[in-house]
Amino acid sequence: MSTDAAFTEADLKLFEANDEKPVTTVPPFGDRSRIDLISGHDIEQSQIVSRVGQVPFLTINSLPDWTVPKGTTLMLRLDGARAGDRFELTLGRKRILQSCSDALVFRALLAAHRMSAKITIELRDAAGGVVQSSEDYITPDHPGGRDVSLHKPLLATFARAADAATLTVSVEIDRADEASVVPPYLFISNPQLHPTTQSEGPAPYVLGASQAGTQEFMAKLNPYVVGASSVVVKDQIITLPERPRAGFSDPTFSGRSLHVNATEDGVYTLYVDGAYVSDAHLGIGRGSVLLPEFLLDGGIHHVAIRDRHGLFVLYETYEAFPAVMTSYDIICRETRSPLPYRLAQQASHRYTSLGRAVAKISDKGEAEQLAHAHDVVTKGVGFLTKRDYRPLAFKSYTAPLVSIVIPAHNKFNITYSCLCALLLAANEATFEVVVVDDGSSDETARLGDLVSGITVIHNEMPQRFIRACNEGVAACRGEYVVLLNNDTEPTAGWLDELIEPFKRFDDVGLTGSKLVYPDGRLQDAGGIVWRSGNPWNYGRGANPFEPRFSYTRQADYLSGAAMMVRKSVWDEIGGLSSYLEPMYFEDTDFAFKVRAAGYKTMFAPLSLVYHYEGGTSGTEIISGMKRYQEVNRPKFKQRWASAYRSAGEEGQNVDIEKDRGIVGRVAFIDYATPRPDRDAGSYAAIEEIKLVQSLGFKVTFVPDNVTYLGHYTDELSRQGVETIHAPFAISVADFLEKRAAEFDVFYITRYQIAAKYIDMIRRLAPRAKILFMNADLHFLRELRSAIESKDDTRMAGVARIRDDELAVMRKADVTLSYNDVEHSVIVSHALNAVKVVRAPWVVRASETIAPLAGREGFSFLGSYGHPPNVQAVEWFTEAVLPLVLSQRPGEVFHIYGSAMGANIRALESDNVTAHGFAEDLADVYDRHRVFIAPLRSGAGIKGKVLGALARGVPCVLSPVAAEGTGLRNGYDCLIAEDPSMWAEHIVSLLTKDELWMKLSTNGRDFVKESFSVQRGQQIMRKAFQAADIYFTL
């Protein structure tokens, strides 16, 4: 069925039997129907019983090309099948049908390869007796697959059956192709059973009933008709029901909801892109319909409301649904470069403008080639002509970092488009291209004459994928090797992102890209291999922007369509395995070889590659090269059975099973996504996340404002953190309702955040442990600030803050505190009601420091959204700076930090420079001679102080700033208690090189010893053990 037809017509199924000619209308079966009988893939091999012949082998969604999109397909392989064989499959085995006081409807999609069979649907009682049954017939004329129109819709209606307990599908084979080397297959997709009053699909409009031996005819219905209408089929006029009078107006969209005014109360059906999604009850007046998550991909979708039977379109619209709800101006203001330009409203127009502007550049070199590459990629391979095949020139490097190997056999247009995409997709990494012309008979054989700067290897006879890749890699010079299918379109930064896991994690041997279909649906987000030995493309057909598909993680295998491996690892394990020649399962096997050699295999989600699947080898599994999928399947299973036998049952708990190499799951909840270059609290949050990951846990981060923050969110994703943001969760409460039960630990920062959610967590995840990160003792900070400012009103609120803070601590399993002073304060107030442990602080000291020569002045760093920092700078400028300038008139006080307001800017003078946000901390630490922290109030540990010491900058500190660090006055730093002492210490460090060198060395050594990563791991492990969590690495 064409896309246009899906938007404008419904299918009419007509069944004809002898002279009676009964007729049934069935609305189209959408590829996004919900699943009842196998929800959660709740079906096992034991549910099949053979009556005659062998028991078929059952899998679920194991053949991606024959799985319905966004659905579930039972795949029954009938080895040795013959005519007369009979077997039964029980569906809903674990569900006693208790809603049978109503009539029941069973619906499914059927398909068959190399067989024909009679299908009998039976309702059975608890003793196994048949209560009611319905028959149908399936032939290879319905091959199934991803195109729903190639399936046969099966509909069976049953009268009231109060004694029905289970539903059984009985299959009797009428014909089987016994000569074929590939066994017959029967596919049953999206089987549903529901009371007619509680339909999970559009209610059928029944004019007659299907009978055995009937002929099937099809006609097209126009869902836009007004008034009564009819359709002529086989000279018979079928009168259709009149279009409902309901009308809809004033539609608006917000988040995931469609709001609309309805003129009549009733049950309607929601369709998206021509496929049924759900029923919707709307009353007269304003109502709302919840839209499915798969819409939230940034693309344009057709949304329609139809009558309850799905026959008539009553309202429709095209709408773009955002994958991110944070407004672009907020992202620009709150994050930093690189910005997610795709989110700008003008993105599509800017893309068009880019192509046109580059095309007008007079330079005949790279700019002209870039414009041409852009034209080729946007035109599409199906529309290229010989005039499009202009010469291309790649840059040559003596020692490229990456070698890209592209095997190609004919289909020159596909290879040429791929090369253009490589030119268009900018990367920091240098690369070379090696194309293996595998016995081509078209223009591919002359590729080297048209494209310069690449290596082309020619095979006179096709060697096929495995040999071609091995041959190509042998010619590579890069540190990394990428295998890239020619039917792909890499996007900007794809190579850099494939390299990222090698930089961030230990012992990485293989990485793989996120593969996306041209229509925007996800193809693969890192594969899973089940206990059955069958591989799965995780996420196939889903929304690629969903958080669960968007973080770096270990995967069982990475698709050979776009994967990167260290050249040394490739050589060590011997490349792709020859036992799988000519092709298929080689990428899965390769990943198992990499892990067997002691390396990790990791999915790199920000490396995005569009894959025009099937452009190389086709999609039909019973012919061509694709047939080797089934030929190689048992070979792979035999080789690696011991490696995958501990995996989960096929199709069960997919989102839990996908996370390999972890010991548990921790959810971090904080007020916002960390921005470590903006404030010390964010720096601490990132380091604590890394420590928890180092203990073996998968981390999910949930900001209270569920805001996507571009660069900062992406950085967490690169670090392997699943980051939740709207619209995929509209609030923390929404997230917890859906997923709280999957976590072993909740790590909550700040008492205000914990107070909002701790009771909810206890209700939804009673067995989970809660670690409360105090960050700083809020009531102590407020107390000090009130005393400093002599604010009695503020003082009055301290007791309430103290009570609220201690209440949260009593509810948590463990409270983490950065310093011993706060630890003692908490114990003195809560006595034994709170378990307090030390919180880790990690500082990564630089190996070298900037020389003393060339440094000048003194500096301070802080976020000015934090009142103690504002108070400190204002006090210092007024009370201390004049004393310093009286001895050193030319000195300059440099103020750095984010959220700098007019009050700080107003302090500027010849001796005060307010720099604002520092993109590079080297400007703060390496250019200046002294770092100061004149804090008068506050609490917690002062990350800015430890950061300065780690860079070898001597510090002058207030007692509050030094609190909890363990620093020694006069040895690691200088501590000042009054303005004159402040001025004396600063002038000493500005003038005495020997003192400067002593404090620089001692302070840096202290930080390296006391705040190392290894020390942080020990402290974090003890914190988890205090909560009775011992299953750590």
Domains of the chain: 34-200 (2.60.120.260), 248-320 (2.60.40), 361-657 (3.90.550.10), 664-838 (3.40.50.2000), 858-1011 (3.40.50.2000)
Contact, 598 vs 553, CB < 8 A?
no
Q: Any bridge partners for residue 510, and if so which?
A: 565, 601
Cβ atoms within 10 A of the Cβ of 116, count?
17
Element (H, E) at 187: strand 185-195
Whole-angstrom CA distances from 344 to 254, 350, 723 are 18, 9, 21
Q: Where are the alpha helices (DSSP H) in 314-363?
A: 328-334, 347-359
Phi, psi of 137 (to 5 degrees): -140, 140
Lowest-pLDDT choice from 146-155, 182-191, 726-735, 915-924: 146-155
Give the tokens for residue 618.
């086709």
Flag whether pLDDT at 259 surpasses 50: yes
Phi-psi region of 854 (alpha: psi -120 to 50; beta: other; left: phi over 0): left
d(CA 454, CA 865): 53
Q: Which of 508, 661, 660 is nearest to 599 (CA)?
A: 508
* More confident site: 302 or 1024: 1024
d(CA 45, CA 55): 9
Residue 225's pLDDT is what?
52
Residue 345's pLDDT is what?
61
Give the tokens for residue 438.
């595998």
d(CA 832, CA 810): 10
Whole-angstrom CA distances from 935 to 75, 177, 870, 907, 1016 are 68, 84, 9, 17, 26
Q: How confident is the model at residue 806 (pLDDT cuts 50, 70, 90)?
A: very high
Q: How confident is the model at residue 329 (pLDDT cuts 50, 70, 90)?
A: confident
Q: How confident is the model at residue 942 (pLDDT cuts 50, 70, 90)?
A: confident
Q: Which of 181, 222, 209, 174 is nearest to 12 (CA)?
A: 222
d(CA 851, CA 733): 51
Give the tokens for residue 192.
């549903």
Q: Which of 5, 148, 137 is nearest to 71 (CA)?
A: 148
| 572-578, Cβ contacts within 8 angstroms, sequence gap of 24 or more | 572/597, 573/597, 575/469, 575/470, 575/473, 576/466, 576/469, 576/470, 577/466, 578/466, 578/467
Residue 46's pLDDT is what?
62
Element (H, E) at 289: strand 285-290
Rg (CA), the chain: 33
Classified as helix, coil or strand, 376 is: helix
* Per-residue pLDDT tens digits for 379-419: 888 888 999 999 999 999 999 999 999 999 999 999 999 99
Q: Sign of dihedral through CA atoms 755, 756, 759, 765?
A: negative
Residue 17's pLDDT is what?
30
Residue at 661: amino acid letter: G
Whole-angstrom CA distances from 363 to 350, 367, 370, 838 are 21, 6, 11, 63
CA atoms within 13 A on the CB side of 642: 3
Flag whether pLDDT at 856 surpasses 90: yes
Residue carrying the six token digits 């790279």: 366
Report, as an integer, the average pLDDT of 902-913: 96
Q: Which of 398, 457, 474 is nearest to 431 (CA)?
A: 398
Q: Any bridge partners for residue 172, and if so which?
A: 86, 118
**Angle of CA points 545, 551, 553, to nearest 5°:** 140
Give the tokens for residue 593.
């070889």
* Per-residue pLDDT tens digits for 646-703: 999 998 889 999 999 999 999 999 999 999 988 888 999 999 999 999 999 999 999 9
Contact, 489 vs 377, CB < 8 A?
yes
* Per-residue pLDDT tens digits for 56-101: 888 888 888 888 876 788 888 888 888 888 888 887 544 434 444 4
Classified as helix, coil or strand, 722 is: strand
Question: What mean pLDDT, rounded, does the chain reach?
Answer: 84
Give the tokens for residue 521.
């649906």
Helix axes 792-811 and 751-764, enclosed angle (nearest 10)? 30
Residue carrying the six token digits 């042998």: 474
Whole-angstrom CA distances from 608 to 340, 350, 488, 820, 974 are 14, 20, 10, 47, 51
d(CA 905, CA 227): 71
Contact, 174 vs 47, CB < 8 A?
no
Residue 675's pLDDT is what?
93
Contact, 37 vs 191, CB < 8 A?
yes
Flag whether pLDDT at 6 surpasses 50: no
**pTM confidence score:** 0.72
Flag whether pLDDT at 133 surpasses 70: yes
Residue 925's pLDDT is what?
93
Residue 143's pLDDT is what?
87
* Per-residue pLDDT tens digits for 566-603: 999 999 999 999 999 988 899 999 999 999 999 999 99
Contact, 878 vs 694, CB < 8 A?
no
